[in-house]
Amino acid sequence: MYGILDRYIGKNILFSVLLISVCLTIFTGIITLIDKMRYIGRGDVDFLFVCEYVAYFIPGMFVTFFPVAILIGGVIGLGFMARNSEITVMQSVGLSRLNIALSSLKSLIPLIVIVMLISEYGVSPLERHAENRLGYLSNGGSVAVTQSGVWLKEGSSIIGIANTLTDGSLSNIVRYDLEDNVLKREIRATKGIYENGAWVIHNVQTKEILPERINTYFDKTQTWHLNLNSERVEIIGNINQNQTIKGLFDYISYLEDNHQDASRFRLELYQKLLAPLSMIVMLLLALSTVFGPLRSINMGTRILAGIALGFGYYVLNQIVAPFSLVYGIYPIIGASFGTVLFGALAVYLLGRH
């Protein structure tokens, strides 16, 4: 059931949450634009491209700030209702705190679903495209990142790398050697390791394409001297750091099949899976400033308290999550600790008289 009171509460909550989300996104977008202007002059990068580049990150910024916007927007929306004694009237006609919380949640659930869909299907492709375009323009078109991996142009050769592993090595490599735009060799290898300034390529199959036949050779290792070094591999790996939930499942499985440490990606996966719960916790924290011991303070102080709670939640996640990787704690604990702690805090504040 979605009654008149549900719609009224929902309208106040949604307007405040969307307003705060848009304001935070615009503010961050402007700061990001100023920061990324340092790219101007690299290759073919100009001011218009930097604006386009930042625009691709706007949906990701909106998704990032949405949980905090729920907290601050909830404080503002419900706070104005409390200041106008509307909350008191609702409680006098039999609407409990739980009813008001559920009414707020009913209105936010569709928006939470939309934000999760944007996060899953919109943010990663857009940011990957932006980074790909940046790499392409700043390197004179010699590097491209696609859904199938990373492609490099080295002289007259085109090299494709399907995966970059957590230890900096390369996996599933293909190389096409051209002469006068005619394919002369196709080389495939299973792995590449950076050693002493060069890449040692393992399990190499070379097909030499001649006018009348194709010769196939096998080598245990080959040494390739490329412009790509270990630091650049790390940068390329960061291009795909904002993976979807499905992409993280696949990549974790791939790393574990290759006996690689996947804890960092497990942590990111759990954080994404727990994102809806963290948004609900933010709403509970907002309610705690209205119904809890903070209800008697003025609006400015109440908003400041909400911002402090949100900042504390963010900082705790930023501290605990990396610590869980450093000290070998299960990633699920690092991902959920802040949410559980602040959820308990919200319930405690709501329960106080």
- Answer for the pair 261, 45: CB distance below 8 angstroms, yes or no: no
User: HSE on the CB side for 269, CA within 13 Å?
Assistant: 17
Distance in angstroms (rounded) separating the CA atoms of residues 79 and 164:
49
List pLDDT tens digits, range 278-313.
Answer: 888 888 888 877 775 445 566 667 777 777 877 788
pLDDT in tens, 318-349: 788 888 888 888 888 888 998 899 888 888 87
Q: What is the pTM (predicted TM-score) of this model?
A: 0.71
Q: Is the torsion defined by CA of 86, 91, 97, 102 positive or negative? A: negative
8 Å CB contact between 32 and 52: no
Q: Where are the alpha helices (DSSP H) in 56-204?
A: 58-83, 86-92, 97-118, 124-138
Q: Quick: pLDDT tens for 203-240.
A: 999 999 888 888 998 999 999 888 776 665 655 555 45
The 10 Å Cβ neighbour count of residue 61 is 19
How many H helices and E strands in the chain?
Answer: 12, 7
Express each pLDDT in 158-213 by its tens digit: 888 887 776 677 888 999 999 888 898 999 999 898 888 889 999 999 999 888 88
